[in-house]
Structure 1
């Protein structure tokens, strides 16, 4: 679901970035008030960004030779609130784009809009609807499943609109070449069939664990903590869980296919030839941005791919942790 650069026209990227910026700005204000009431929100933001980053490293195979992955946005919204979850996923997406080349730089606004805004707010809204009816677990599953599929639908619409909004005088697409009737089913197929269930299962499993050991730490809960050490114990447990995800992260390499709509230039040409839709890149894509990330595709030059995957995960988690510490120190000096 990470839209690469050059798949969306610059105008589309600008519109989606303009739509995302005010929401992220509002999230910053909301989280500032949230931190003032509960300082533990700051380290939980770093933990949440780490969780989302790591979950997205676990690619799963989809029938037809493509792959997909969970995001964890609904889980984070249930844990720390939708606005804080939006910030956490945004931080993860920025890290992925600039350091690991996963998702485009110009397309960052689109990816934030889909995965850091649509997904957590849709998922959390559905969860709260069922929670109020005293069916929290059902809300967790439905919220997570439909949240990621809402984001996938949005990505499919964005990609599928490109032949309509960006084409040359002859009507040939300049950017993503697949129209709506192909892009939307392709995106939804992978997520309705596979990724949505992975997202729902993972979200429910972690939710049940947190509800059992620290129910007061869930964002929308009337339960008040009776032990001031409960937040710290939960953080410790989640760091252990993050460590386990880091060790297991090379499992994501077992899915060798490429997610639909995330092909490299050569991969897209091969796909177009396979679908009998052309033999060359659309001209806008061929002359677009070519950003080379330091650890592109989570690889480190000179070391085995699996070890590079682990080192990439460790690097990201350390950066998220340090960001959390810096923010925490900032609030400590102000109080």
Structure 2
């Protein structure tokens, strides 16, 4: 679902940034109010997990791959604006360090996966969960449905963005300048993979996390569910006399899950091709799309960003691809987690200084 540079026109990319930039601005303001200091490490870990699950490419029967995002689970735990910030940072480092997704197309990649996905998923979750207790099974089912809906909303948006390019941007002979795929091709290609494979993976991830936290760490679920009742007996299990031990156990489970996913990230290398629309221009089947040459705009902008240190998640040129992928995963989750931690703490520090200054001025007046 990561759109590379060259597949969208510069004009389209500008629209993507016009959507994403205001969302980032609002997210920064909202996060400083919602995410307290004690929750900053949680947000950092969730951002790192989002980076990791987006690396975890699942082979699709047609020879391509698809991946989960992790946006809806962040939205459920810390709010959709926290998800905007976390997933955007993960996408940014994927583009800059690993060449996964374009820099020009970064705006729309964030609009799709960091804005639309968490808000759509969170909306479905709230709709289905209703006023059910925080410990009710309905909450976990609602989370799974939200995750499924969120990633498919993002996939559908990406399909539209791809599919409009040949109709909006072509030369005098009618040949496409950027992505050569029409809506009749992009929508089936994107939605088949996400409705059947990636969406299910996202649903299992989101619902599974919520179901586990209902039993093992109910206080974390309460962060973004103020005023929602919980079954007293089940809450006592989560918050009981052994709470000290129980606070550690979810961390152990999370670290174990991350370790397993890091080892399994090269699974996507088994597929002969990449995700739909993410192949290099030279890999395009020109005959299939009725082209005599690679679209000129696609050829011009596809190599816009040349500075990815570990392009294609290949940590060293001499390493085996599997080793490079695993090392890239470890480096990536460390960088993303640290970046989110520093950004969030900086935002809260600036907000604190501003508040102190305003209180001082009020006291003097």
Please name the residue that 1:5 is paired with. Answer: 5
- Hey, what does 1:245 align to over in structure 2? 261
- Give the TM-score taking structure 1 as reference length: 0.91
**Corresponding residue to 2:144 among 141, 145, 153:** 141
> How big is the alpha-carbon RMSD for the aligned residues of Structure 1 and Structure 2?
2.3
1:41 matched residue in structure 2: 39
**Which residue of the partner structure matches residue 286 of structure 2?**
272
1:250 and 1:287 mapped to 2: Cα distance?
30
Deviates more, 1:313-322 or 1:132-141: 132-141
Deviations 1:125-184 (A, max 9, x none): 100111115332221122111111111110000011101211112221100011112111
User: Is 1:220 aligned to 2:235, yes or no?
Assistant: no
Aligned length: 330
Q: Residue 217 of structure 1 contacts residue 231 of structure 1 at CA under 8 Å; is this kept in 2?
A: no
> Which ranges of structure 1 fall in alignment gaps of 5 or more residues?
none
Match of 1:74, SS state, is helix
Structure 2: runs of 5 or more not aligned: 133-137, 354-365
* 1:101 paired residue number: 99
TM, length-normalised to structure 2: 0.84
SS of 1:145's partner is helix
Structure 1, residues 34-93: CA drift from partner, whole Å, max 9, x if none?
13xx21221122111111111111211223222111111111111221110111110110
Residues 1-335 of structure 1: pairs in structure 2 closer than 5 A: 1-35=1-35, 38-134=36-132, 135-218=138-221, 219-220=224-225, 222=228, 234-235=250-251, 237-268=253-284, 271-273=285-287, 275=288, 277-290=290-303, 291-292=305-306, 293-300=308-315, 301-327=317-343, 330=346, 331=348
Q: Does the 8 Å contact 2:56/2:261 carry over to 1?
A: no
Indicate the SS of the match to 2:7.
coil
Cα offsets for 1:178-226 (capped at 9, x unmatched): 1112111211111112111111112222221122111221222536995
Distance 1:59 1:325 in 2: 26
Q: Structure 1, residues 220-251: CA drift from partner, whole Å, max 9, x if none?
A: 25369955887676445433432332233223
How far has the Cα of 1:323 moved from its partner? 2.5
Contact 1:58–1:251 (8 Å) recurs in 2: yes
Question: Radius of gyration: which is bigger?
Answer: 2
In structure 2, C-alpha distance between the alignment counterparts of 1:150 and 1:110, rounded to whole Å? 13
| Closer, same or farther: CA 250–326 of 1 in aligned 2, 3 Å | same
1:67 and 1:259 in contact (8 A); partners too: yes
1:230-279, CA deviations, whole angstroms, 9 ceiling, x for partnerless residues?
Answer: 767644543343233223322332233211111111112xx232x15123
**Aligned CA distance change for structure 1 residues 259 and 13 (closer, same or farther; 3 Å):** same
State how far apart, in whole Å, the 1-side matches of 2:298 and 2:289 are: 18
Bigger shift: residues 23-32 or 238-247: 238-247
